[in-house]
Every structure is written in structure tokens, then in C-alpha cells.
A = this chain, B = another copy of it.
Amino acid sequence: METFTIKDIARELGISTSTVSRALRGSYEINPETKRLVMECAERLNYRPNPIALSLKGSASRAIGVILPQIANYFFSQAINGIEAIAYNRGYHVIIFQSQESYERELANVQQAMSRKVDGLLMSLSSETADVAHLQEVLDKNVPLVLFDRVSAELHVTKVVADNFGGAFAATEHLIQSGRKRIAHLTIQPWLSITQERLAGYRAALEKYGLEFDESLMRYGSFGPDEVGPMVDDLMRLPSPPDAFFTASDRLAVGCLQALRQRNLHIPEDVSLIGFTNLNVADLLAPPLSTVVQPAQEIGQLAAERLIDQIERKHRALPIETVKIPTELIVRSSTMTNSEMVKL
């Protein structure tokens, strides 16, 4: 089935394209009979308006752009699912871009999205992104923008994030309550909002229980698969080595687990391990991994909803706000105490 245009309908019915156009949308000044004819003909020809032409004219493209660090990441792929679900049943299409954690690519992605005339933009910042001028430009062009997960404090926009402070606090508190005293914190780039919030939660829990914050137990970075091992070695060589690891991301949790196992460090006998992760196989790992779960799908859904609300009610500005979603601490074997282990 070929693709018909408004012209085909016009020719078929012997009327002008303008009439067809108006009949098809704003019904205001068109003879009902004519309208019926047009509708019927459009139906018959299976007419679909050309989104490209619509975009050129500057009207809504009914597409939203999603720019995030990478898809091959449990958290983000689940978030995309949430976004897609909402977008789909509100009649929007989703165009996904990966920044691959590169500022340069993020920039290119934003430009692409803008020139493809998306109606709005949903973003989670790349880890390289320190400057957000490119996003300010988006706002200046009056294109709705919603940030999720990796957000920037410098932008006055709606944000949807997990309760990172609360999650980190709960995880750290749990470790402390299970008898750990030297808790290493492996985390990502220090300038990211989520990093700072999680660090704050970690420190707050330490403080609550009168434990000193020890800088030497912290490690920041974007760890590749082979970098976690050396870091663990480094930490374990400390005069007073850690008895627990709290990691701030999916990849770190898995990398850390792997590194600890390779080094014959037993979990949780030698060290505890807990991570922020959305890994759906966390309970099938050896040992089952305690985690702080962020509801990724829900975050995606909420972000998409806010964005589309903004798109559709562009006139009266919707309130800017930061939506914080609770995280959930799930305790599994990787953070058991030795006495708990014995009972098994």
C-alpha cells in the first residue's frame, strides 16, 4: 500500500487541498457533507499525515526525545520501558539517543533531537557533563525538558529522581547495624547529583552511629571492567581494611562482586557487599546480593508523564518541581552477619 497525500484526496474529490486539510482537522468552517466525503476518502485511501511535513511547518511532531548515557544498563533500559509505556498510550513516539557517557555526544544528541523537532526532551546527564549551557538553550527555545536520575542543580526544570539520600542512608545503616565498622564507598563521578546525594546519605548514617568518615575508604570514578579489581586490592591493603563495600551503581556492584570473588574474599564472612542496583538477577547471584532498588520503571513513567503534561499545557506553565521516589532496601545474604550465617 503506497502512501497517499492530501493532494491525492483533493484530486480524487475534485476539491482543494486546503479544504481537505481543514476537513481533516479543525472542522470549523467546512460543510459537514464535504467533511464526511473527505473523511471517507481518507479512510479508504488509508491516509496518514506526513510527520515530516508537519514538523517542517513547525507544528507538533508528537515525538519525544530521550537522551541517556547508555541503554545497556539495567536501570536505564527499565526506565525506557516506563517512558515508552506512557508515551505510547498518550500518542507519542520515543526517539532514543545514547550519549555513551560523552559530553560531546550528548551535545550532538541534543542538536539532533532539536532539529528533528521533538516536542520535548527527557534526559539523564552523561557523566562527563559539567556544563549545562546546551540544556539552557533548549529551555530558551521553549522546548519542554524533564531531567531524571542524573540531574543538574543548575537547571530550573522538573526533575524525577530516586531518594538517593534515603537509599544510601538505609544501606549504610543496615551495614552498621549488622556489625560493620569500616565501610568502603565505591561511587561514580563526584560532580553528579546522585553521587553527592548518596555520599551524603552514607555520611549521615556514619555520623548517626558515631563512626568517623574516612576519606581513604572512598573511591570515585568510571570504572571499567578491569579497574575494580585493582581498586579492591588497594583498599584491602590498607592498615585497617574495609569490612564492607557499598557501591553506587549497577556496574560497580557486579564488578565488585566479581573482583571480591576472584580474590577469594568471602561474602559476607570477610566483607559485606551492598549496591544500588536494578539487576533483576540480584537474588540469583552467589551470594544473593543485598541492594537498594530504585524503581526505574516508575521513574521513567513519572518523567514521561510530567514531560507530556508540559508539552500539552504549554500555555499555563506547569509548576516546576523535583519528584523524589522512595528507594527500597532489600537485604539478602551478601550483608548477613556471621551469626545469621551460622543459623543457615
Binding site for B on A (CB under 8 A): 1-3, 48, 50-53, 55-56, 70-74, 77-78, 80-81, 84, 88, 93, 95-98, 100, 105, 111-112, 114-117, 137, 141, 254, 257-258, 261, 279-281, 283-288
Q: Which residues of B contact A111 (CB under 8 A)?
A: 48
CA distance A111 to B51 in the complex (A): 11
Shortest CB-to-CB span from A193 to chain B, Å, is 24
CB-based nearest B residue for A72: B77
Q: Which residues of B contact A48 (CB under 8 A)?
A: 111, 115
CB-based nearest B residue for A96: B96
Q: Which residues of B contact A117 (CB under 8 A)?
A: 52
Q: Which residues of B contact A80 (CB under 8 A)?
A: 71-72
CA distance A71 to B81 in the complex (A): 8
18 A-B Cβ contacts within 8 A?
A1-B137, A2-B141, A3-B115, A50-B115, A51-B116, A52-B55, A53-B56, A71-B71, A72-B74, A72-B77, A72-B80, A72-B81, A88-B105, A96-B96, A254-B281, A254-B284, A284-B285, A286-B288
Which residue of B78, B105, B114, B288 contacts A72 across the interface (Cβ within 8 Å)? B78
CA distance A258 to B1 in the complex (A): 46
Q: Is the CB of A51 within 8 A of B115?
A: yes
Which residue of B52, B141, B286 contacts A52 across the interface (Cβ within 8 Å)? B52
CA distance A50 to B141 in the complex (A): 16
CB-based nearest B residue for A279: B281
Q: Which residues of B contact A53 (CB under 8 A)?
A: 56
Q: Which residues of B contact A96 (CB under 8 A)?
A: 71, 95-96
Which residue of B51, B71, B115, B257 contacts A77 across the interface (Cβ within 8 Å)? B71
CA distance A262 to B100 in the complex (A): 38
CB-based nearest B residue for A100: B84
CB-based nearest B residue for A81: B72
Q: Which residues of B contact A280 (CB under 8 A)?
A: 254
CA distance A3 to B116 in the complex (A): 12
CB-based nearest B residue for A287: B286
Shortest CB-to-CB span from A342 to chain B, Å, is 19
CA distance A280 to B283 in the complex (A): 15
CB-based nearest B residue for A289: B284
Q: Which residues of B contact A81 (CB under 8 A)?
A: 70-72
CB-based nearest B residue for A296: B72
Shortest CB-to-CB span from A246 to chain B, Å, is 18
Report which residue of A1, A71, A137, A257 has the largest number of chain B beta carbons within 10 angstroms of its beta carbon. A71
Which residue of B74, B112, B261 contacts A284 across the interface (Cβ within 8 Å)? B261
CA distance A112 to B87 in the complex (A): 14
Q: Which residues of B contact A100 (CB under 8 A)?
A: 84
Q: Is the CB of B116 within 8 A of A52?
A: yes
Q: Which residues of B contact A74 (CB under 8 A)?
A: 72
CA distance A73 to B70 in the complex (A): 14
